[in-house]
C-alpha cells in the first residue's frame, strides 16, 4: 500500500481483486444484487437542494444493476466558498465521474473533500476517481479494516454486474481517518460534525451533522422506503446506539443512506422501530432456546411485522436480517 492509502495492485493484490468472492461475503453480496427487482433506468445523478448550500442525490432504491451502475444509494454535497464537500463517492470510478458531472451542474467549485460514511461499496469505491482530481478522502478509522477485508469481494461482485462499467475501479482507502467518536471539521468555513458510535450496517458507519443547517446525512444508519440490511459485519446494538444520536440532536432534515429525505419520526418508523422489534424478539428466542430458523420464521410471520414486510425488498431481506440478528444476540 502506498503512503497515500491506495491499494496498489501488485501481482498478489491484483490476483486478490480479480478472484471471485467467496464464503458468506459472496453469499451476502449476491443476495443484495438479487433484490434488484425490475430493471432500473440508466443511472442519472442529479443533486436537489436540501438547505442553503446543501444538496442530495436520491439514489435508486433497487438493488445494484448494470443500468444503475451500482449507485443505489444517496449521495450528499455541501458547497463552501473554498470547494465542495462530497458525502460518499459512489460505487465505481465511472459512477464517481457521473457524480462529479452532476456537481458541476450546481457549482464550478472543485470537489476538495470526500467523506466516506461507511465501508459499503457505494460509500467508497469511487475514491480513486476523486483522489485523482485532488480531493482529500476521509472516513472513520473503524471503516479501514472493513474496507480492507471486503474491498476485493465488493469489486469482484460488482464486476459480475457492471461488466465494463467497473473498469478503472480500484479500492482506494481514504487518506484521513477520524479516530474519535465525535469530531468537528471546518471545511471551507462550514462546520461539519462527524458522529460514530461503533457502527451499524457496517463497522465504520459515521453520520455527518451540519448544526448550522439543522440537518444530517446519516449514511446507512437510516433507510426509508426500503428494507435495511443486516449483514455479517453489521452490529444492531451499535446501530441503535448510533440512532440515539439522531434522537438527541433532533435534526429538522435527514438525508438517509437509502430512500427519501425524511424527519426523525420517519427515520424512527422505517429503521429504529424495526431494529428494536427485531432485537427484542431474537433476544427472547435465544433466551427460550428457540433455534434460529424457527425464530426467524416466527418473527417474519408476526402481524406487527407486516408493516416492515411492505418496505421494498422486505420479503427478500427480512429472513436474513432475522438470522444474523439472532446470531449477534446469541454471541452477546
Q: What is the pLDDT of residues 93-123, one digit of tens each?
A: 999 999 999 999 999 999 999 999 999 999 9
Whether 204 maps to a domain, the answer reads yes
Question: How far apart, in whole angstroms, are the C-alpha atoms of residue 225 and residue 60?
Answer: 11
Q: What proportions of the chain, in percent to the nearest 5, are helix, strand and coil? A: 40, 20, 35
Whether 4 maps to a domain, the answer reads no
pLDDT at 281 over 90: yes
Question: How far apart, in whole angstroms, are the C-alpha atoms of residue 311 and residue 270?
Answer: 8
Pull the grid cell for residue 247. 434522537
Strand partners, 326: none
Question: How far apart, in whole angstroms, are the C-alpha atoms of residue 243 and residue 221?
Answer: 7
pLDDT at 254 over 60: yes
For the stretch 156-186, pLDDT in tens is: 999 999 999 999 999 999 999 999 999 999 9
State percent of the chain over pLDDT 90. 87
pLDDT at 43: 76
pLDDT at 180: 97
The stretches of the chain forming alpha helices (DSSP H) are 11-18, 23-34, 93-104, 121-124, 127-132, 142-162, 236-249, 264-267, 273-288, 292-301, 306-309, 314-331
Helices 314-331, 273-288: inter-axial angle, 10-degree rounding: 50
pLDDT at 24 over 90: no
As a whole number of Å, the CA-based R_g of the chain is 19
Rounded to two decimals, what is the model's pTM?
Answer: 0.88
Return the biggest CA–CA distance within the chain: 60
At 17, which CATH number? 3.60.15.10
Pull the grid cell for residue 158. 460488482
Domain interval for residue 125 = 11-331
Strands (E), the chain: 48-51, 54-57, 75-80, 83-87, 111-115, 136-140, 176-178, 182-187, 190-195, 207-210, 215-223, 253-258
For the stretch 55-99, pLDDT in tens is: 999 999 999 999 999 999 999 999 999 999 999 999 999 999 999
Span of 3-17, 28-42, 317-331 with lowest mean pLDDT: 3-17
pLDDT at 33: 45
Residue 105 or residue 19, greater confidence: 105
Give the phi and the psi of residue 244 in degrees, each rounded to 5: -60, -25
Whether 1 maps to a domain, the answer reads no
Strand partners, 252: none
Question: How far apart, in whole angstroms, are the C-alpha atoms of residue 194 and residue 104?
Answer: 26
- Domain count for the chain: 1
Pull the grid cell for residue 242. 448510533
Q: How confident is the model at residue 42 (pLDDT cuts 50, 70, 90)?
A: low
Question: How far apart, in whole angstroms, are the C-alpha atoms of residue 233 and residue 144?
Answer: 13
Residue 211 or residue 34, greater confidence: 211
Pairing of strands 207-210, 190-195: antiparallel
Give the phi and the psi of residue 83 in degrees, each rounded to 5: 145, 175
Cell 464550478 sits at which residue?
Answer: 108
Distance, CA of 168 to chain centre: 21
Rounded mean pLDDT, 35-46: 58
Amino acid at each position: 500500500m502506498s503512503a497515500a492509502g491506495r491499494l496498489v495492485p501488485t501481482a498478489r493484490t491484483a490476483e486478490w481483486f480479480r478472484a471471485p468472492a467467496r464464503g458468506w461475503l459472496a453469499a451476502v453480496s449476491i443476495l443484495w444484487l438479487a433484490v434488484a427487482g425490475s430493471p432500473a433506468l440508466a443511472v442519472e445523478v442529479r443533486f436537489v437542494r436540501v438547505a442553503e448550500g446543501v444538496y442530495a442525490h436520491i439514489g435508486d432504491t433497487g438493488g445494484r444493476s448494470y443500468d444503475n451502475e451500482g449507485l443505489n444509494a444517496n449521495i450528499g454535497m455541501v458547497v463552501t466558498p473554498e470547494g465542495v464537500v462530497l458525502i460518499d463517492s459512489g460505487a465505481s470510478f465511472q459512477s464517481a465521474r457521473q457524480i462529479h458531472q452532476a456537481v458541476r451542474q450546481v457549482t464550478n467549485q472543485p470537489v476538495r473533500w470526500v467523506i466516506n460514511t461507511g465501508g459499503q461499496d457505494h460509500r467508497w469505491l469511487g475514491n480513486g476517481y476523486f483522489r485523482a482530481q485532488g480531493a482529500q478522502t476521509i472516513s472513520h478509522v473503524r471503516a479501514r479494516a472493513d474496507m480492507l477485508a471486503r474491498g476485493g469481494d465488493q469489486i469482484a461482485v460488482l464486476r459480475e454486474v457492471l461488466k465494463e462499467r467497473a473498469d478503472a475501479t480500484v479500492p482506494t482507502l481514504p487518506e484521513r481517518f477520524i479516530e474519535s467518536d465525535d469530531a468537528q471539521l471546518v471545511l471551507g468555513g462550514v462546520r461539519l460534525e462527524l458522529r460514530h458510535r461503533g457502527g451499524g450496517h457496517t463497522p465504520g458507519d459515521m453520520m455527518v451533522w451540519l448544526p448550522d443547517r439543522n440537518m444530517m446525512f446519516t449514511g446507512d444508519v437510516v433507510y426509508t422506503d426500503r428494507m435495511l440490511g443486516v449483514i455479517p459485519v453489521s452490529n444492531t446494538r451499535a446501530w441503535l446506539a448510533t440512532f440515539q444520536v439522531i434522537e438527541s440532536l433532533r435534526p429538522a432534515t435527514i438525508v438517509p443512506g437509502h430512500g427519501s429525505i425524511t424527519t426523525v419520526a420517519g427515520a424512527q418508523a422505517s429503521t429504529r422501530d424495526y431494529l428494536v422489534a427485531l432485537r427484542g424478539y431474537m433476544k427472547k428466542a435465544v433466551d427460550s432456546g428457540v433455534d434460529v430458523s424457527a425464530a426467524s420464521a416466527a418473527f417474519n410471520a408476526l402481524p406487527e411485522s407486516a408493516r416492515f414486510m411492505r418496505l421494498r425488498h422486505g420479503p427478500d431481506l427480512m429472513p436474513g436480517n432475522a438470522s444474523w440478528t439472532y446470531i449477534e444476540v446469541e454471541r452477546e
